[in-house]
Amino acid sequence: MPDVFDRPRAFRPISRGYGGMSRDCSRSRGSKQKSHSSSRATSHASGATFDWVGEFVKKFADDAKSCEQRDVDERTRLLEEARQRESKAFHQVTSLGKSTLDFMQDLIRKENDLALQREKEIRENMKQLAAREARVAALKQKLQDQAYQSTG
pLDDT of residue 133: 96
The predicted model scores a pTM of 0.39
105: Cβ contacts below 8 Å, ≥ 6 apart: none
Task: For the chain, report the end-to-end CA distance as a whole number of angstroms.
Answer: 159
In the predicted structure, residue 73 carries a pLDDT above the cut 80: yes
Q: Indicate if the pLDDT at residue 7 is higher than 60.
A: no
Residue 36 above 90 pLDDT?
A: no
CB atoms within 10 A of CB 97: 10
- Please give the pLDDT value at position 30: 47
Question: Phi, psi (5° rounding) for residue 20?
Answer: -80, 150
pLDDT score for 150:
84
Q: What is the chain's percent helix, strand, coil content, to nearest 5?
A: 80, 0, 20
Which sequence spans correspond to the domains of the chain?
A: 13-46, 53-151
Q: Are 5 and 13 in contact (CB under 8 A)?
A: no
How confident is the model over 59-78, as a mean pLDDT?
A: 94
Cα 34 to Cα 24: distance, rounded to the nearest angstrom: 9
More confident residue, 127 or 25: 127
Contact in structure between 24 and 12 (CB atoms under 8 Å): yes
Q: According to the model, what pLDDT value does residue 24 have?
A: 47
pLDDT category at 70 given cuts 50, 70, 90 is very high
Q: 131, 138 in Cβ contact below 8 A?
A: no
Give the per-residue pLDDT at 22.
45
**Cα angle: 28, vertex 34, 38; to 5 degrees:** 85
112 against 14, higher pLDDT: 112
Is 22 in contact with 12 (CB distance < 8 Å)? yes
